A and B are shown apart, each in its own frame.
Chain A
Amino acid sequence: MNKRGELEIGEMALWFAAMAGVAAWIIWMTSIYYGAPYNIKGIESSMLANQIENCIAPQGFLNDTVLTQEFGKDFLSACHLNFNVENVYDWKSNPQYYTEVHIYKFDANNPGLLGSQLASVVEGNPNIKTAWKLNSQQSTQTSSGRAVNTIVIHSTEGSTVEGAVQTISQRGLSIHYMIDRSGDIISQSNEPQYAPAKYQNAFVPESENGAHAGCGVGSQKIQACTASCIESNGLRDVLKPQCQQLAGNLPQSQWCCIPDYNVNSIGIELVNIGNITGICKNTNEKGTPLCLDAVSAYGDKWENYTSEQINSLVNLVSDIAARYNIPLDRNHIVGHYQIATYKTDPGPAFPWKTFMQELQARGAITSPDNANYNNEMERSFYVTDKSGNQYIVTVLALVGKDEKNVAK
């Protein structure tokens, strides 16, 4: 500004440009705000979950029909749902709703975990689930900040929980979970029921590293071979054929062990003797000779896993995978033998194929505190039927209708 209070031309142009910039910014922001779709996906998802919840448990009791096969077949009609959508963005041929309902028996011995699954219904477009997950913040860390990306399955190679806990403790090892033949899940929280106080360092919480997947100490320390046992592409469970042989077939110089698995993994022990060839005539708790219910492999007999154990394992792995967003594949759900070739567990009796099929069918959506979705969209609740039987129901309800990222 000059002495006469007159704006110089250059100064005026500068002010004018600044105001033009502000006006352009207002117009731009207004266009973005009003140009964006009026987003009701979240609230519609929670309303859908409400309707399903009211359908599953009207007036506070489990609907008598939900445990029947007909309910699953006729779910949409029974819950008064209509998943037809407007014919835009190719939505007509790609439904824009997705819902999963799972009903579990309530296990009073393990109230923090889900019991056996009694019924399950999945309806709609599963790609919406992926879209929601990708768009949501995912947690891969425990409360202590420990990142978890792998679950390692072991067997105790012993006949009882007490014996296994004692062995683990005396060797200075530790594990996160153990599953008995009855399907009972033992962890640090309920360990006192199963083991004397002096062995109670055998279990650690998920927030701490266990000592279950190391590379051995002393005479067991691995000489070499980690690199030679793994494919060059780095996939952890694609081991070369010599590494897939059982430990007894490999000379010690060829043992292979992938280090540092304790750091990012959760270990689960299954109570199982393993090789029972030498004790075939011994009887189990029911008085049945061990070898009557055994798997034959590598010229030996191996103790079978109980269905209760596998069911509990499916529930537990599914729950852990949901909480840490661990993919349900064999790169992330591994056997101890895949990390250390001098180990055989969980051994040839472990039903990998059916276990993985059940696990993948269940999905990693079992936990009420799963951070991938809002609690309004994914919820679990306790309910009884009129006879007093107890159940846990989990409901996931998601609406797609994303006008920016169309889920097909």
Chain B
Amino acid sequence: MKNKRGSGLDAINHNVIFIIFLLVMVGIALYFVVSRLNSSGVMEEKYAKEIALSLDAAHPGMVITLNMSYAVAAAEKSLGEKNLDKMVSIKGNQVTVKLTSGGQGYTSSFFNNVTLTNYYLDKSKLAYVFFVGGYNE
């Protein structure tokens, strides 16, 4: 049988349990949102397409510097610091961004028929640098 004090504790317990459930629920939702925001798949697609757009707008002689700090942070965990240079690869008119050791990364094409003389990760700026040479003949 519950006395008056017991009833008060029950009320507190019910409310505490309820609030904990709510916080857990909100926490799950926030965790899901943040994990999607920082997921490698989303970032691979975003950066591949942004690099493709930058190269679409490129002219011979240009040097393009693209801040990729978020991608570098994601790639460091999976690829390791030594392999960061491999996170962007360009073959022909297709750019691939790969931020995880598994998977194939995301590939996007660009229509501008330019050649790149060099591209590398500038680790001090956490940015990729692309040197545009001329046009493919």
Contacts and interface: CB of A to CB of B under 8 A. Distances in A.
Interface of A: 4-7, 12, 15-16, 19-20, 22-23, 26-27, 30-31, 34, 37-38, 40, 43-44, 47-48, 51, 76-77, 80-86, 88, 96-97, 399
A30 B34 CA distance: 10
Given A4-B11, A26-B32, A26-B33, A97 B107 contact: no
A13 B40 CA distance: 37
Interface residues of B, number: 40
B45 interface: yes
A19 B24 CA distance: 11
A7 B14 contact: yes
Interface in B65-118: 92-94, 107-114
Interface in B13-46: 14-15, 18, 21-22, 25-26, 28-29, 32-33, 36-37, 39, 42, 45-46
5 contacts: A6-B10, A15-B18, A51-B56, A80-B135, A82-B110
B6 to A, nearest CB: 11
Nearest to B10: A6
Interface of B: 7-8, 10-11, 14-15, 18, 21-22, 25-26, 28-29, 32-33, 36-37, 39, 42, 45-46, 49, 52-53, 56-57, 92-94, 107-114, 135-137
Given A12-B18, A86-B108, 14 more contacts: A16-B21, A19-B25, A23-B28, A26-B32, A31-B36, A34-B42, A37-B45, A38-B45, A44-B52, A47-B53, A81-B113, A82-B93, A86-B107, A96-B109
B93 A84 contact: yes
Among B7, B53, B56, B57, which residue has the most Cβ atoms of chain A within 10 A? B56
Given A44-B111, A86-B108, A23 B18 contact: no
B15 A4 contact: no
A259 to B, nearest CB: 51
A51 B107 contact: no
Contacts of B94: 84-86
B120 to A, nearest CB: 23
